Amino acid sequence: MLKVLVTGGGGQLAQCIKSVAGLYPKLKFTYKTSSELDITNKDEVESTFNFQAFDYCINCAAYTNVDKAESEKELAYKINVLGPKYLAETCSKHQVTLIHVSTDFVFDGNASKPYKETDSTNPIGVYGKTKLEGEQQIINTIKNHFIIRTSWLYSEFGNNFLKTMLRLADQRDELGVVGDQIGSPTYAIDLAVVIVELIESKNNAYGVYHYSNKGVISWYDFAKEIFRLNQSNIQLNKIGTKDYPTPAKRPKYSVLDTSKISQILDKKTLNWKDSLVVAISKL
């Protein structure tokens, strides 16, 4: 039986892994919340691995508040750079394969076709910069790693765009949503399944991968479909990024090319619309 440590155990993605774990009886999962394992504390990381043997570590711990990162640079750096560094060092020492979740925010959003893993990175905010530095720490420290960049993550767990839209639909009659930022929503359950199947397959094609659901839309399109499926009577207005200023800049285009991970897992990527139906039915 393969033993898997999941950090950031209280977060959205870890909860999604927990919800599908029962489908994989050959894997034994141990979940550690940030209060049980602070990945920015090197001694805590080392004692966790000394106390219990693992084959894989999935790092779901991250600082993900894009806007707050602009004013909380040190905290974002600690969690997104030092945490992965300590995990990579300890995983390397204990011969544990590290699976780390990263983001489309490592790109600047100036592309016009889906980003491949080999494309140049150029983050435009603190969040993206720290996530990219975290990736580099892992690449420079441990050979047996998978870095999976994803985008626009949502699910029935945690705080995310889907749940925010449903809440606002109950509170308001009218809402403006940005229509000039383009990407691909990703159902976190689908990402969880991909990560777990990567482990179960014992694949050793280490490196950087992109994963999101199929389809290219704006946040406005995403909100429109959420309200349609939920039969919400709210007036939705398309606005521009300039009409909704935020402390952090967002990439205008962050579509990821997912063909590489589809090939190694021999698995078709699900369309965002199909996955959204599943997510809303669970809510």
Please list the active-site residues.
Answer: 127
DSSP 165-184: HHHHHHH-SEEEEE-S-EE-
Count of CB atoms within 10 A of residue 61's CB? 28
Q: What three-state secondary structure class fits 150?
A: strand
Contact of 134 with 179, CB cutoff 8 Å: no
Edge-to-edge strand ranges of the sheet holding 56-59:
27-32, 2-7, 56-59, 97-103, 145-150, 207-210
Cα(145)–Cα(56) distance, integer angstroms: 10
96: tokens are 């544990």
Q: What three-state secondary structure class fits 71?
A: coil
Cα(238)–Cα(178) distance, integer angstroms: 6
86: tokens are 């300590």
21's CB contacts (< 8 A; 6+ apart) are 27, 29, 196
Residue position matching structure tokens 């894009």? 66
For 170, phi then psi, to 5°, come to -80, -25
47: tokens are 């004692």
End-to-end Cα spacing for the chain: 33
Nearest to 256 by CA among 84, 130, 119, 64: 119
Residue type, 113: K
